[in-house]
């Protein structure tokens, strides 16, 4: 194999991997992400930069972001546009390419951001932008709103991302890309653009005109969605209207008269994977006939370690920033150092909520965190299934503080109701049980929360949590997970060692909200609250195990190495 890991400076034509993602979340200032998928993309690219993996990334510029969440007096989520100054962060490139939508030429320009790795290696991100002079007003808005409203709008965005993305990286001079990685199906049209280029005009047999094998050899597809309804698909009428006869052999990529973006990815990739072991199995059941592997997600350790934990690791595990595997040596850090560091992180999140929401949260009280997209299957209200039981635990065994956060998708009415319910409950807080809902959950607030609470709770309905990554972020800071055995937690959970499980242990065993809530309360009462208040020694020992066992493994450095070996150059 040709040298893959590169020296610090490389030419454009030495970039070998093109990573496509509808959203990329690097930090709270560049609001081109909505949640887990985008932050995973950002963390992946940061690890590519740290490890000199010659990657270029492609995404949309999302000038109005996803949305800014406000919660009104009644507890309803209000969505405001985000405004941000692109040119404070990104550098406009001097190339313009075109795509065709409804027969019209739509011009696309690009902005660049360089991620700088720990040893100075850069990974560029190319942000595609249709706000170009000469485009109609409507077309200029295509790259405004991440996951904006309507199927038309979404398909236009995917045309720009997939087809425009390929044309743009070529125009910019990335001429030696050997691997195209689709982070979910939004960018699948890139395979069609590659396929079109293989057309043999002399071949009379239509089915042999295009060289699918050649495209497959270059493409890698990662699915993140364990339910069929979650996969992107478009009515054929819409596809024909927007794309004309652009897609060759279109019937092969249709399912129930819809162009299915996952199916395109599956058919035109040589390597397909789910994002945790269990999710690989679920995906194989969902798409029989395809060979689907799994690579378990990770997080970028230095992004998610809180500032005090970073200092501690710098002192006691030198080299951990380049080599997060060495977090296994956390076993040697003293319990006193772990606790002191944790208390510094805890103070930061409590200062934040106390200042902003005037809730008077106390650093000596057991604090539970729950934050992620607010949607039914994540069951953010499972903890409140039986308020009497929760109150009695808090009254009899020790006070509890709970910090919530998360946005609901603008069309997800149920998700918005869940937020409202929790906000209403938070108004009945007292000294034994305090609840706060922080507005506009983003990377900044996530960093405070996953470093500073005591327990990280997750209660999804199985098998809907493909991986989940926030629990991994918590692990970098020694925070104990208390979660349903789904996604990554099936791999990271060791009872009473790295945290605690909720609900059935066997993979196909069903359970109801009642049963899961019952176990949640039982473990809070019997294990978690008493251990926190009466057995700090063992609590801190668990924190140390969490860092050593889980942070050393569930990181994007390990993950990208697996992609290189199993997917990119296998
Ligand atoms: C990590 C993260 C998520 C994803 O959380 P999950 O628990 O994996 O669903 C969502 N939003 C933000 C801001 C995050 O940092």
Residue at 6 is within a domain: no
Cα end-to-end distance, the chain, whole Å: 10
Instruction: Find out whether the beta carbon of 276 lies less than 6 Å from any atom of ligand 1.
Output: no
281 Cβ partners below 8 Å, 6+ apart? Answer: 274, 294, 507
Nearest CA to ligand 1 atom 4: 36
Identify any residues that bridge with 401 across adjacent strands, giving them in sequence order: 367, 434
Q: For residues 38 and 190, give the distance between their C-alpha atoms in angstroms, rounded to a whole number.
A: 19
Residue at 407 is within a domain: yes
Residue 2 confidence (pLDDT) above 60: no
Q: Are 294 and 353 within one domain?
A: no
What's the pLDDT score for residue 3? 58
Instruction: Find out whether the beta carbon of 260 lies less than 6 Å from any atom of ligand 1.
Output: no
Q: For residues 407 and 392, give the distance between their C-alpha atoms in angstroms, rounded to a whole number.
A: 30
Report residue 228's pLDDT band, with 50, 70 and 90 as the boundaries: confident
Instruction: Find out whether the beta carbon of 26 lies less than 6 Å from any atom of ligand 1.
Output: no
Centre of ligand 1 from the C-alpha of residue 470, in Å: 5
Residue 414 confidence (pLDDT) above 70: yes
Alpha carbon of residue 70 to chain centroid: 22
485: phi then psi, degrees, rounded to nearest 5: -80, 85
Centre of ligand 1 from the C-alpha of residue 471, in Å: 9
Q: Are 63 and 168 within one domain?
A: yes
Residue 11 confidence (pLDDT) above 60: yes
User: Which structure tokens are listed for 511?
Assistant: 């359970």
- Which structural domain range is residue 43 located in? 12-298+559-568
Q: For residues 159 and 186, give the distance between their C-alpha atoms in angstroms, rounded to a whole number.
A: 9
Atom of ligand 1 nearest to the CA of 445: 13
Q: For residues 434 and 445, give the distance between their C-alpha atoms in angstroms, rounded to a whole number.
A: 19
Q: Are 90 and 167 within one domain?
A: yes
Identify any residues that bridge with 499 across adjacent strands, giving them in sequence order: 481, 495
Find the length of the chain: 570
Q: Tell me which residue of 486, 521, 522, 528 sits closest to 505, measured CA to CA.
A: 486
Q: Are 383 and 445 within one domain?
A: yes
The mean pLDDT of 378-407, rounded to a whole number, is: 97
Q: Are 241 and 328 within one domain?
A: no
498-520 per-position pLDDT tens digit:
999 999 999 889 889 999 999 99
Q: Are 322 and 360 within one domain?
A: yes
Q: Are 320 and 209 within one domain?
A: no
Residue at 379 is within a domain: yes
| Counted domains in the chain | 2
Q: Are 268 and 150 within one domain?
A: yes
455-507 per-position pLDDT tens digit:
999 999 999 999 999 999 999 999 999 999 999 999 999 999 999 999 999 98
User: Which structure tokens are listed for 326?
Assistant: 């060495």
Instruction: Find out whether the beta carbon of 468 lies less than 6 Å from any atom of ligand 1.
Output: yes
332-369 per-position pLDDT tens digit:
999 999 999 999 999 999 999 999 999 999 999 999 99
Centre of ligand 1 from the C-alpha of residue 460, in Å: 13
Residue 151 confidence (pLDDT) above 60: yes
Residue among 25, 404, 470 whose CB has most ligand 1 atoms within 8 A, to mutate: 470
Q: For residues 40 and 279, give the distance between their C-alpha atoms in angstroms, rounded to a whole number.
A: 16
Nearest CA to ligand 1 atom 2: 36
Lowest mean pLDDT among 15-19, 205-209, 259-263, 430-434: 205-209
Instruction: Find out whether the beta carbon of 186 lies less than 6 Å from any atom of ligand 1.
Output: no
Residue 224 confidence (pLDDT) above 90: yes
Atom of ligand 1 nearest to the CA of 446: 15
Residue at 3 is within a domain: no
Q: Which long-range contacts (CB under 8 A, 24 or more apart) does 102-109 make?
A: 102/241, 102/242, 103/244, 104/136, 104/139, 106/130, 106/135, 106/139, 106/142, 106/160, 107/132, 107/134, 107/135, 108/132, 108/160, 108/164, 108/167, 108/168
Residue at 386 is within a domain: yes
The mean pLDDT of 261-287, rounded to a whole number, is: 97
Q: Are 73 and 52 within one domain?
A: yes
What's the pLDDT score for residue 1? 42
What's the pLDDT score for residue 8? 77
Residue 86 confidence (pLDDT) above 50: yes
Instruction: Find out whether the beta carbon of 469 lies less than 6 Å from any atom of ligand 1.
Output: yes
Counting residues of the chain whose pLDDT is more than 70, the rounded percentage is 99
Nearest CA to ligand 1 atom 7: 470
Q: Are 339 and 448 within one domain?
A: yes
Counting residues of the chain whose pLDDT is more than 90, the rounded percentage is 93
Q: Are 288 and 175 within one domain?
A: yes
Nearest CA to ligand 1 atom 12: 35
Centre of ligand 1 from the C-alpha of residue 36, in Å: 4
What's the pLDDT score for residue 488? 98
Instruction: Find out whether the beta carbon of 441 lies less than 6 Å from any atom of ligand 1.
Output: yes
Instruction: Find out whether the beta carbon of 446 lies less than 6 Å from any atom of ligand 1.
Output: yes
Q: Are 45 and 177 within one domain?
A: yes
Tokens 């689907």 sit on residue = 292
Mean per-residue pLDDT over the chain, rounded: 96
Q: Tell me which residue of 554, 563, 36, 540 sits closest to 324, measured CA to CA.
A: 554
User: Which structure tokens are listed for 529?
Assistant: 């609250």
Residue at 430 is within a domain: yes
* Greatest C-alpha distance within the chain: 81
507 Cβ partners below 8 Å, 6+ apart? Answer: 278, 281, 463, 490
Report CA-CA distances (Å) from 443 to 34, 357, 372, 448, 478.
10, 19, 11, 9, 19
Centre of ligand 1 from the C-alpha of residue 333, in Å: 28
Nearest CA to ligand 1 atom 1: 470
Residue at 33 is within a domain: yes
192 Cβ partners below 8 Å, 6+ apart? Answer: 162, 163, 246, 247, 248, 264, 268
Residue among 23, 297, 306, 371 whose CB has most ligand 1 atoms within 8 A, to mutate: 371
What's the pLDDT score for residue 508? 84
Domain harbouring 138, CATH code: 3.40.50.2000
Residue at 7 is within a domain: no
């Amino acid at each position: 194999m040709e040298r893959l890991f590169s020296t610090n400076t490389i030419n454009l034509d030495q970039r070998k991997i093109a990573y496509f993602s509808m959203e990329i979340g690097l930090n709270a200032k560049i609001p081109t992400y909505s949640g887990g998928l985008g932050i995973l993309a950002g963390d992946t690219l940061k690890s590519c930069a740290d490890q000199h993996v010659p990657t270029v990334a492609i995404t949309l510029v999302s000038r109005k972001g996803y949305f800014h969440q406000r919660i009104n007096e009644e507890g309803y989520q209000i969505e405001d546009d985000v405004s941000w100054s692109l040119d404070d962060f990104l550098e406009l490139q001097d190339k313009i390419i075109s795509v065709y939508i409804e027969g019209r030429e739509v011009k696309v320009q690009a902005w660049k951001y360089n991620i700088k790795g720990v040893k100075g290696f850069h990974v560029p991100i190319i942000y595609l932008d249709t706000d170009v002079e000469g485009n109609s007003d409507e077309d200029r808005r295509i790259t405004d709103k991440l996951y904006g409203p309507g199927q038309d709008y979404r398909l236009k965005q995917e045309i720009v991302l997939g087809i425009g993305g390929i044309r743009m990286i070529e125009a910019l001079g990335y001429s030696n890309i050997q691997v195209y990685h689709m982070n979910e199906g939004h960018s699948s049209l890139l395979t069609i653009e590659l396929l079109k280029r293989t057309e043999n005009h002399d071949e009379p047999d239509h089915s042999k005109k295009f060289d699918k094998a050649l495209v497959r050899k270059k493409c890698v597809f990662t699915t993140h969605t364990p339910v069929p309804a979650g996969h992107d698909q478009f009515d054929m009428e819409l596809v024909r209207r927007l794309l004309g006869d652009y897609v060759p052999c279109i019937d092969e990529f249709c399912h129930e008269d819809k162009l299915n973006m996952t199916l395109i990815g599956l058919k035109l990739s040589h390597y397909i994977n789910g994002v945790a072991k269990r999710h690989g199995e679920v995906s194989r059941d969902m798409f029989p006939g395809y060979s689907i592997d799994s690579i378990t997600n990770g997080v970028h350790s230095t992004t998610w370690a809180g500032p005090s934990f970073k200092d501690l690791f710098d002192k006691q595990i030198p080299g951990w920033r380049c080599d997060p595997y060495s977090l296994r040596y956390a076993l040697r850090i003293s319990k006193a150092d772990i606790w002191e560091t944790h208390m510094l992180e805890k103070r930061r999140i409590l200062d934040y909520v106390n200042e902003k929401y005037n809730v008077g949260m106390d650093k000596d009280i057991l604090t539970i965190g729950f934050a992620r997209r607010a949607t039914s299957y994540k069951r953010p209200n499972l903890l409140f299934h039986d308020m009497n039981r929760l109150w009695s635990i808090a009254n009899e065994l020790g006070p509890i503080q709970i910090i919530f956060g998360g946005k609901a998708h603008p069309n997800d009415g149920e998700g918005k109701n869940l937020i409202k319910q929790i906000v209403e409950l938070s108004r009945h807080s007292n000294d034994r049980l305090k609840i706060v809902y922080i507005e506009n959950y983003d990377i900044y607030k996530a960093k405070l929360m996953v470093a500073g609470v005591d327990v990280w709770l997750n209660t999804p309905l199985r098998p809907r949590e493909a991986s989940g990554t926030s629990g991994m972020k918590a692990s970098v800071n020694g925070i104990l997970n208390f979660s349903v055995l789904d996604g990554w937690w099936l791999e990271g959970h060791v009872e009473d060692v790295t945290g605690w499980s909720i609900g059935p242990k066997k993979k196909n065993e069903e359970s109801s909200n009642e049963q899961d809530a019952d176990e949640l309360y039982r473990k809070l009462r019997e294990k978690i609250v008493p251990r926190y208040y009466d057995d700090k020694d063992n609590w801190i020992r668990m924190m140390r195990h969490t860092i050593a066992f889980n942070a050393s493994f569930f990181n994007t450095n390990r993950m990208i190495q697996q992609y290189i070996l199993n997917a990119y150059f296998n």
